[in-house]
Amino acid sequence: MDSTNLKTFIVAAELASFSLAGERLHLTQPAVSKRIAALEQELGIRLFDRIGRRVPLTEAGQALLPRAHTILQEMEDSRRLIANLSGEVGGRLSIGTSHHIGLHRLPPVLRAYTKAWPAVELDLRFMDSEAACRAVQTGQLELGIVTLPLTPLADLDSERIWTDPLRIVAGREHPLAGQRRIPPSLLSAHAAILPAHGTYTRALLEEAIGAEASGLRVSMTTNYLETIKMLVGVGLGWSVLPQTMLSDDLQALDVPDIPLTRQLGVVHHRQRTLSNAARAMLRQLRTGCHEDDTQV
């Protein structure tokens, strides 16, 4: 099977749209249709039902989708294995990372890496840590530089690079800002601005608060920590933020017995061959981690 046609099939199946698949792949809709038609002709069966603008998978398409992922992953793994034999560090390296890590942790790492390995083409994608982990699991990304999950994920090897202490914070004028030894029950009496359910940072907070977590008054959710910082700073609620983001307009609250520390690090699929470029990135991350930890 032609790998290009398979990739097009996967994207079209995930988006249930030839036009959206074209936008993601930088192709025209007729080009996408042509590739799908070529794959259907090769297999001798229809993979999509064309119903107006909707293109749901047929039963055959549904059966092919997981196998298409496997075929492409094995092809990519074989390419990496063969390329690694040369010892050269080059080619494309796809990495998923969060906006926070990309802004506050990665710049010195990327600067040193690109200087040492200029032949590597970095494909850096910004997304939630949870999405990056899933993309590594499915083979869409080679590495994820993320907030590590509280429980290790199946098929992924993870390595801590940075320890990231968190603080419960509020604006300077917030009613909680001047109080000492705030119990978790008092937090529930005030509006909170938190990352969404399902994020590792939200799970860490709820685990630390325990039974009081069910009573939290969450007025807004966003996964962008810079946005949370702004909203808390203007007095719209309390939240949890990395200690490194504290500033003059924020007050770290005195909430005893709630230690909050998340681990930031790198994940990769344990059953897939890492490229020389990915191995070099792991070495670069390890080299810089002690320096960065002293600044936390």
In a domain? residue 185: yes
Judge whether 232 lies within some domain.
Answer: yes
Q: What secondary structure does DSSP assign to 36-77, as a single string?
A: HHHHHHHHTS--B--BTTB--B-HHHHHHHHHHHHHHHHHHH
Low-confidence ranges of the chain (pLDDT < 70): 83-84, 86, 289-296
Rounded distance between C-alpha atoms, residue 269 and residue 43, angstroms:
30
Contact 194, 202 (CB under 8 A): yes
CA atoms of 69 and 76, how far apart (whole Å)? 11
From CA 54, how far away is CA 30, in angstroms rounded?
15
Q: Write the pLDDT tens digit of every residue in 221-240.
A: 999 999 999 999 999 999 99
- 238 by Cβ neighbours in 10 Å (0-12 / 13-18 / 19+) ranks as buried
Kindly state whether residue 45 falls inside one of the protein's structural domains: yes
Tens-place pLDDT, residues 65-114? 999 988 887 887 777 777 667 677 888 899 999 999 999 999 999 999 99
Nearest to 171 by CA among 225, 229, 218: 229
* Average pLDDT value for the chain: 89
Domain range holding 254?
165-261
Q: Are residues 40 and 61 in the same domain?
A: yes
Residue 173 maps to which CATH number? Answer: 3.40.190.10
Q: What is the largest CA-CA distance in the chain?
A: 72
Tell me whether residue 76 is in a domain: no
Taking the C-alpha atoms of residue 232 and residue 193, their distance in angstroms, rounded to an integer, is: 7
- Do 23 and 104 share a domain, yes or no? no
**Residues near 262 by beta carbon (within 8 Å), at least 6 away in sequence:** 147, 148, 164, 166, 200, 201, 204, 242
- The dihedral through the CA atoms of 187, 192, 196, 197 has a sign that is positive
What pLDDT, on the 0 to 100 scale, is given for residue 78?
A: 78
Do 172 and 237 reside in the same domain of the chain?
yes
DSSP lists the bridge partners of residue 250 as 171
What pLDDT was estimated at residue 127?
94
- Residue 284's pLDDT is 95
- CATH number of residue 21's parent domain: 1.10.10.10
At residue 291, the pLDDT reads 42
Would you say 178 and 205 are in contact if contact means Cβ atoms under 8 Å apart?
Answer: no
Phi, psi for residue 26 in degrees, rounded to 5: 60, 45
pLDDT of residue 50: 86
Both 251 and 281 in one domain: the answer is: no
In a domain, 75, yes or no: no
Instruction: Answer yes or no: is 9 within a domain.
Output: yes
